[in-house]
Amino acid sequence: MNSTRLTRWLVYLLIGAAVVAVLWSYSSAPTPQNDIPISRLAQEIQANEVAELRVSGDGREVTVIYLDSQRPSSLAAISDVSSIEELLATYGVTSASYADSRPVVVYEQPSQWGGLLNLVGIFLPALLIIGFFYFIFRQAQGTNNQAISFGKSRARMFTGDHPTIGFEDVAGCDEAKAELQEIVEFLKEPEKFVTFGARIPKGVLLVGSPGTGKTLLAKAVSGEAGVPFFSIAGSEFVEMFVGVGASRVRDLFEQAKRNSPCIIFIDEIDAVGRQRGAGLGGSHDEREQTLNQILVEMDGFDTDTHVIILAATNRPDILDPALLRPGRFDRRVIIDRPDMRGREAIFRVHLRGKPIANAVDVSILAKATPGFVGADIENTVNEAALLAARRNRKSIGMSEFQEAIERVQLGPERKSRLMSPEEKELTAYHEAGHALVSHYLPHAQTLRKITIIPRGMAGGVTWYMDEDASFLTRSKFEAMIATALGGRVAEEIVFGEITTGASNDLQQVTRLARAMVTQYGMSQGLGLRVYGEKQELVFLGREISEQRDYSDAIAEQIDGEVRLIIDSAHNQAMTILTDHRDKLELISQRLLEVETLEAAEFVDLLEGKDVAVPSNPPPPPGSPRINLPKPSEGAERPRPTLDRPPSPSPA
């Protein structure tokens, strides 16, 4: 760094010297004059026109001052002689030719800086050229160094002297912390295990969905153990040059051995740990060479090095089997989505140090956020804090948390979007249809809120309370399908016309019904079997096709079973909304007035408790309706509740 600064100042100094030399040359030059040859000067002296000759300090120039003050001075150059007198003598001008001792010859004293600046003016271009080439060579040398450093590890090292994160900062994964506590004890007291001849796992693989806290848990292990922590992403091993990844792996493990006991954390290890032989580059893919080096280094660890490898991934299914065998990643730690108690603990961690109102109940927040992971909860708390600051509140209240949860799950409200009265009425009946069908089905999800205010990409939302359920029954699936069709059925009953508003609902219905038939064995006609095997490229890490392991006749039967399930749910929704047509009108008109209904208000309306009379009383069944507009893109409303069931994508 010091040499770089010195070089920079040297360049600045040379540039400054050049500027000074140029300015000196202009300032020291005489005032603008006419250049005359020595022969003419001799003639003017013989004609008694010259009053004074001023010879410059370097003896190279003569300034001619005339007797006529109105006449501008002239400049003559001297060369190859020692004095002006000798030069003039060659042109026949001697001392006898001077009249009245004129002209007077004056020799100016040479400047102390003039010679130096002249030298600078002479040598400065050469110095600048030399400096330019020196700079080019340094850049080339730096490039070579960078090329050499390609093989160096880019892992970031964190010392354990001042830990900032511990196990108390990680919540919602008690089982995972208990598994890793053994690693911490080994790093603190390795002799305790060596005495019994025990071998600590060389590698621990953290597996979990995105946002569950895998990286945070790895940092907590380092903070608890108080040892150096090397962190690197799997993608940082691979470059465009062949062999760079393997070289970086070797350098990383060499650094770890020098700083043992320590922890190596490789985030997103699936970037380099995917199954070999499946890449687009063939069996000699650069990723495979990097993976081979990782395998070699993990096997090459001595039992006394006390270096533990932590790796995180959300795709353990695509990892190479050699990476998961005993002796490498011996242990898998599953970090699942937190349950209600886990979410409550995570909320308490993120609420530390924030001004929270006394009315805030953390248990209610945990119940209202099923399916949330740690990242979602952190985002929710941050959104609530932003809302409180925007509203100039002194503390974060329950209303801010409620709105923050809605913003995270559904997206922000788009109240600025203008909806025509026809589109607004259509949306009200559509969302009311969803809510009524779910209300009268025993196995349907619990209603949370209904709104016709556009949120996110949705034109209206019927929001349900998700459940922390690991399994879904056939009755649950059928209720979800019927609920999804409730909006379209309401449009059919009220308007006698169908629109594109249910396009997303139909996609969800088809997906669920097909999953019931092909994946979960919930079809009476096809029996207990899975139809269709997913095909994927490990290199891509995603499904690209489905292998049909069934005949065309079975495919036709699958389509029939899917159609049967959907038609049955459609008839069920039609029966409910036809029998409760008055409730459909009531809820729709209420939505047109207030735009949003909470679950409690929805139930009170159905039970007739404290129900305000709508300003526009509902028309009787069978009365003519308004003309529907042409379907618009904004009418397509994705229903977030159907996106959340933990069912895999069907065939």
Write out pLDDT tens, residues 172-225.
888 888 888 888 888 778 778 778 877 777 888 999 888 888 888 888 888 888
Residue 645's pLDDT is: 35
Residues 263, 264, 268, 274: what is their CA dihedral angle, to the nearest 10 degrees? -120
pLDDT band per the 50, 70, 90 thresholds, residue 619: very low
Catalytic: which of 425, 431, 478, 492? 431
Between 162 and 283, the more confident residue is 162
pLDDT band per the 50, 70, 90 thresholds, residue 100: low
Tokens 């399916």, located at residue? 371
Residue 80's pLDDT is: 60
Report the alpha-carbon distance of residue 517 to residue 530 in Å, rounded. 8
Q: What is the CA radius of gyration of the chain?
A: 43
Q: Which of 41-45, 258-262, 350-354 has the highest mean pLDDT?
A: 350-354
Which one-letter amino acid corresponds to residue 264? I
Residue 137's pLDDT is: 61
pLDDT score of 548 more than 90: no
Question: In this structure, are residues 154 and 236 in contact, taking their beta carbons and an 8 Å threshold?
Answer: yes
What is the mean pLDDT of the segment spanning 439-457?
Answer: 85
Report the alpha-carbon distance of residue 54 to residue 257 in Å, rounded. 81
Q: What is the mean pLDDT of the chain?
A: 76
pLDDT band per the 50, 70, 90 thresholds, residue 627: very low
Report the alpha-carbon distance of residue 155 to residue 290 in Å, rounded. 15
- Quick check: pTM over 0.75? no
CA dist 16 to 6, 13, 27, 148, 315, Å?
15, 5, 16, 36, 61
Q: Is 556 annotated as catalytic?
A: no
Say what percent of the chain tops pLDDT 70. Answer: 70
Question: In this structure, are residues 335 and 217 in contact, taking their beta carbons and an 8 Å threshold?
Answer: yes
Structure tokens given for 160: 């354990």
**Contacts by 379-383 with C-beta closer than 8 Å and gap 24+?**
379/408, 380/404, 380/405, 380/408, 381/347, 381/350, 381/351, 381/354, 383/407, 383/408
Q: What is the pLDDT of residues 13-59, one digit of tens each?
A: 766 666 666 555 555 544 445 677 777 777 777 777 777 777 776 66
pLDDT band per the 50, 70, 90 thresholds, residue 96: low
What is the mean pLDDT of the segment spanning 435-457?
Answer: 86
Angle of helix 421-440 relative to helix 599-607, nearest 10 degrees? 80
Q: What is the pLDDT of residues 568-581, one digit of tens each?
A: 999 999 999 999 99
Report the alpha-carbon distance of residue 520 to residue 473 in Å, rounded. 10
pLDDT score of 620 more than 60: no
Q: What contacts 336, CB < 8 A, 6 or more positions away?
A: 173, 208, 209, 212
pLDDT score of 641 more than 50: no
pLDDT band per the 50, 70, 90 thresholds, residue 508: very high
Report the alpha-carbon distance of residue 360 to residue 495 in Å, rounded. 44
State the DSSP H helix or E strand holding residue 262, giving kind and residue range, or none if neither. strand 262-267
- Nearest CA-CA partner of 489 in 477, 506, 476: 506
Tokens 């600046």, located at residue? 117
Question: In this structure, are residues 495 and 625 in contact, taking their beta carbons and an 8 Å threshold?
Answer: yes
Report the alpha-carbon distance of residue 34 to residue 74 in Å, rounded. 5
Residues 14, 15, 21, 22: what is their CA dihedral angle, to the nearest 10 degrees? 160
pLDDT band per the 50, 70, 90 thresholds, residue 122: low
Residue 434 CA neighbour count, 13 Å, CB half? 31
pLDDT score of 103 more than 70: yes
CA dist 378 to 130, 214, 346, 392, 460, Å?
58, 15, 8, 21, 26
What is the mean pLDDT of the segment spanning 520-545?
Answer: 68
Tokens 């040892």, located at residue? 227
Say what percent of the chain tops pLDDT 90. Answer: 20
Report the alpha-carbon distance of residue 562 to residue 86 in Å, rounded. 120
Report the alpha-carbon distance of residue 411 to residue 487 in Å, rounded. 21
Between 541 and 379, the more confident residue is 379
Residue 268's pLDDT is: 87
